[in-house]
Amino acid sequence: MKKHKVLIANRGEIAIRILKACMDLGHDFVCVYTREDAQSEHCTEALKQGGEDCLYRISSYQDPNEIFAVADQSQATAVHPGYGFFAEDFRFARRVVQRTRKLEFIGPSWKIIQDLGDKINTKRLARQLGVPTIPGSDRPIFDDLEAEEIARSLFNFQQEQGIEQPVILVKASAGGGGMGIEEVNDPDRFRNVLRKVKNYARRQFRDEGVLIEQRLFDFNHLEVQILADSHGNVVHFGTRNCTVQSTGRQKRIEVAPGFDPGAISYAFDAGRVLDDIINYSVRMAQNVGYNSIGTWEWIVSPTGEPFLMEVNTRIQVENGVSAITSRIEDMEVDLIREQIRIGLGEKMDFDQSSIRFEGVGIEYRILAEDPDNAFTPWVGRIEQFSWPEHPWLRMHTHIPRDRAYDIPTEFDPNLALGIVWGKDLKEAKKRGISFLNQLTLEGRNNVGEPLKSNINYLKEKTDRLLIF
């Protein structure tokens, strides 16, 4: 394999994990940081492992020109976007591979990012392959009569599922970020809401097309971890359940596998649901020629009906909880390592039969926030952060353990990922509580008030993990 120098266009714990994977594979690396991130351990680790030539200061992680300037100055040959920032920006990925001094983009091809990043296009493609999606339109609707027919069918569908109070969503198809969305819980109100959304869409986006979908309330959020190379090989690393989320739908606990039918009674065949969403995800990845790591995100209704929600064309924060339950030749998998290998052109050297799943993993996202106050971020200085080492624990963090750390207000207050493993759900939960109890996390803000974190919230949620 050709030796590369990988520019890590990200920060924090994911930058550290990419850095270590590069070293493990024999590649050089370059890290970037901003003024606000100077205290981050990803800077310390870069200097420790590679020296001053491996760390460049930039003004923003979201300025592509700065990223490319560092790539050229450092003579990097590849870019790893991590998650967030440019990870799912097809324009950035296209520029990486089409610029005069071409680089390798460690992720899917820009065309796949573009195609699967369009939720309407993803939904249309899924339906062509017989993959179930959230009931509703898979293209913008302009005709009122057609809109009413779709709405009527969605109300009827929910009643057939036993939903006492059906609700549908009317969305401006050109909108985004929650703009131009209205709920309808009464068929007689549909026309008025449709007119309201179309008028809004015409004013704001100059496009009065709408999408009409079923509104799902009580559901579980499951994911399938996919890995594919550029030679047509596709494998999966099982499922995970990401249902424990903040009020803003931000994940807080992830569990692999996604259900536990051996220990918990479900109102549906949970094993069949897991098999189905895996098979659907693999089929779709094969069909589109997927060529990196990626996540197929699903929602499962209380009656066991799975619906594809979206595809994330990047490494995800929760990749480690899938890795800790996956084995190849009795070795724990490093999905970031595999992503880099494939992204730099290597062929997958294993197939699905080589992958074995063992035990249960739980990933805790530890944040400086106040769960009792709408998960409001806490701002201040961390004075102590430590935990006992265990063979069943993986801890990923950019927070220093040997000095105080001021939390930058420019980023989300993510502090660490604690991933525990157990031979079954009972043992994993027991170890999870033990880890959270043994964790030391102390600090104060600028008026002397003690640090607020979500540790108690994580403890409270652990007892009912995977119960649906």
Please list the active-site residues. 314
Beta strands per DSSP E along 144-303: 168-172, 181-184, 210-214, 220-228, 234-245, 251-256, 293-300
Query: CA-to-CA distance for 23 and 26, rounded, in angstroms?
Result: 5
Are 393 and 436 in contact, with CB atoms under 8 Å apart? no
Q: Taking each helix axis as running N to C, give the angle between helix 270-288 and helix 110-117, from 0 to 180 degrees, rounded to the nearest 10.
A: 130
Residues in Cβ contact with 272 at an 8 Å cutoff, skipping those fewer than 6 apart: 304
Q: What token pair was written down for 296?
A: 């197929």
CA distances from 285 to 233, 282, 380 (A): 10, 5, 43
Tokens, residue 415: 């502090």
SS3 40: coil
- How is the chain split among helix, strand and coil, in percent rounded to 5? 35, 25, 40
Whether 29 and 51 have beta carbons less than 8 Å apart is answered as: no
d(CA 158, CA 162): 7
Helices assigned H by DSSP within 63-188: 64-74, 90-98, 110-117, 119-128, 144-160
Closest CA to 212 of 238, 186, 181, 233: 181
Residue 164, classed as helix, strand or coil, is coil
Residue 369's H or E segment, with its range, is: strand 369-370
Nearest to 309 by CA among 42, 123, 101, 438: 123
